[in-house]
Chains A and B, each alone.
Chain A
């Protein structure tokens, strides 16, 4: 969960975040873990989109995430621009047991680069890490802080876990990470089921949002009057990606 730091008045700002990805990769489960610290097995598919909010306390400021959790089914794809249009951050999720979902994620990343706000912070997230046999922890994780949660029992030399027959991983960490670096994305492997890395993803995104784009709280009246409000994501393109890459990927 988001760290509940000092309650002292800190500058607070809203960040609009959208989750994209193939159906059944666990987008809603990630959000539910982040917002409610809860997990449901066999969750029913999202219909349309769900809107949730959650605060994330950083040392210097509070970020209020306004999260659009979209449905992954193809028939909803045409609605996606409505949700990512003014988003400052996007979580593009794939399922580490399903290679086709990474391909789909790559399509989403390309679409975001093409059509979303230029400064959007994108995190590539491989979910369902609990289904992979534990591999060398430090190697797999995007964030040092989570090494302890991942006390790997049988950390064999196998770096690419998909070589291991016992586990269900079909997308190598290396592959996805390399792609993320290439595209300048934050990268994490998470498990909504165990909670692994979930808070970290959101914290890293919060950190990666440039200060410049956070002027004033956007949470209240004005900014939310319409889904369709345009061009209010004031983002400095140049600073985002290098910073994001540095913080997100412990490479």
Chain B
């Protein structure tokens, strides 16, 4: 079983039970049954009815030959949307005969101290349906509350230097981008004056290793993980106390790098530095700090989309989505490359040429620009934005027409100006992308036709209802389900779905802790060289599951009072539900021309 694989390089594990924040069981391969640990995070969990999934078992035969470890990261960054998964099958549902053994391992886990601890607390937990899944961690909570506050500048006399520095150091997460010559390009927190010394230190460390031809990838200092990524003339550094895995942090740095490419294109980035190695890149990047910061903050808040490298779609009936697809195809103008309809950050429909699929990373940049950073949304009117979509082609610009519609007044078919800032959830964006720099009025015409069509065939109403309806809760999906939340990623479609954060994860901090838990599960099922196919963790407050198959990844969590059997049953129910609803939850193919 892959659980005996080399532990991933992770920061030391806190032995303090109060830090219940889920941790990847990094030391687990060494001492799998250490009795003093309350939680036994890594354990196989078998599913009695896993064989009922015909699609899963179909892959089973190939599993043995495909079980050699290989580059995992590719799973998150598929080049093409649909064919990424097909050939490289490496994971499989455990066969039924394995269940006896795994059950016994679990029994071992649950028999220990942790189990009795939460049994003794059982009444308390059972009676409080709304009990948090996490033990309180006031320090972390306090730090998280301060995380997004801006740091003031050091004043002229330097009298506040110390407090400013303390605040800067207290940030849970930093992103730094510097040129290979050591010039600061971007920092999420703190101004130049503040970060100069740190940038200098980091640059020294990086170049020390570079000089020995052994480039630095990551290191740990205290409870802080540093991940360094060198991309051409840029060094990107992620500094995190949130206990994310290296590959997760690397994916975040990759997104920041893509944002820079999206602004400049790769050739012009290289040209700027080829002329002068100590070029100050901040000048051409002026005005995009908000985009980089919006991305960074998304990562700090915990973005399922980035972690899974996939997108969420608006749930719509198949026929309704079909009608929208058809309207897109019907009104498609000559120079259109991609057309998207996006509602409250979720994809509604896509029109694309047959030979080009959309890269999730590119879409993430677009969504970030439209829905996280305020520049486009708040400006009002329609927008014409030159941008490079590096996943599509990192050498040239495309031009993006953006128009926000107000669903509450569908009668006003041409929204000259959407409401300025509030009501984000109801906003629907029509995004039309063309390679033609002068295509604004052409695409504007298409938008008008499209909105006409969508109104005529009732699609606007369907979108509005779907947006208003929001996400389901777990118990809507499976009545009586013990699950509090889950993430389901369809690998083939590079899309994910999840239930609403409400009612259990109302605050940003609760969500962050949940995404932390997901991140540890995710790291385990994506660990190199040997990844787990199924991981089950219990703590005194929650019980969670990560399950990876060639078709999907599922992460779910329930209160600790839930039995393993109930958890696995609930997980299976989710899988069945997704299968039933697949064409509603995901865009399969989209409108292709």
Contacts and interface: CB of A to CB of B under 8 A. Distances in A.
A82 B380 contact: no
Interface in A53-77: 53, 67, 69, 71-76
Contacts of A49: 383-385
Interface string B372-391: 01111011111111110000
A171 to B, nearest CB: 21
A52 B376 contact: no
B378 A40 contact: yes
Interface string B345-382: 00000000000000000000000010001111011111
B12 interface: no
B441 interface: yes
A79 interface: yes
Interface stretch (A94-102, A123-131, A221-229): A221-229
A117 interface: no
A225 B379 contact: no
B511 interface: no
Where chain B touches its partner, the secondary structure class is mixed
Contact of B385 (A32, A36, A47): A47
Nearest to A223: B441
Interface in B429-484: 437-442, 444-445
Interface string B392-427: 000000001000000000000000110011000000
A76 B386 contact: yes
Contacts of A2: none
Interface stretch (B46-54, B168-176, B282-290, B514-522): B282-290
Contacts of A38: 420
Contact of B383 (A35, A36, A43, A48): A48
A46 B375 contact: yes
A43 B287 CA distance: 11
A44 interface: yes
Contacts of B440: 51, 227
A74 B263 CA distance: 12
Most chain B CB atoms below 10 A, which of A28, A32, A45, A67: A45
Most chain A CB atoms below 10 A, which of B287, B288, B385, B445: B287
A52 B416 contact: yes
B381 A52 contact: yes
Contact of B441 (A23, A52, A75, A225): A225
B380 A73 contact: no
B439 to A, nearest CB: 7
Contacts of A53: 381, 416
B386 A79 contact: yes
A50 interface: yes
A228 B335 CA distance: 14
Nearest to A24: B287
Contacts of A40: 378, 420-421
Contacts of B445: 224-225
Contacts of A50: 379-384
Most chain A CB atoms below 10 A, which of B378, B438, B440: B440
A19 to B, nearest CB: 12
Contact of B417 (A28, A35, A224): A35
B420 A227 contact: no
A35 B287 contact: no
B386 A36 contact: no
B417 A44 contact: no
Contacts of B439: 226-227
Contact of A48 (B284, B386, B438): B386
Contacts of B384: 48-51
Most chain B CB atoms below 10 A, which of A47, A53, A67, A227: A47
Given A44-B378, A75-B263, A75-B284, A51 B383 contact: yes
A130 B242 CA distance: 44
Contacts of B382: 50-52
Across the A-B interface, give the 6 residue pairs with the lowest CB-CB distance, nearest first: A48-B385, A52-B381, A45-B287, A44-B375, A228-B438, A227-B438
25 contacts: A28-B379, A32-B420, A35-B381, A35-B416, A43-B378, A45-B287, A46-B287, A46-B379, A48-B385, A48-B386, A50-B379, A50-B380, A50-B383, A50-B384, A51-B381, A51-B382, A51-B384, A52-B382, A74-B284, A82-B437, A82-B438, A224-B441, A226-B442, A227-B437, A227-B440
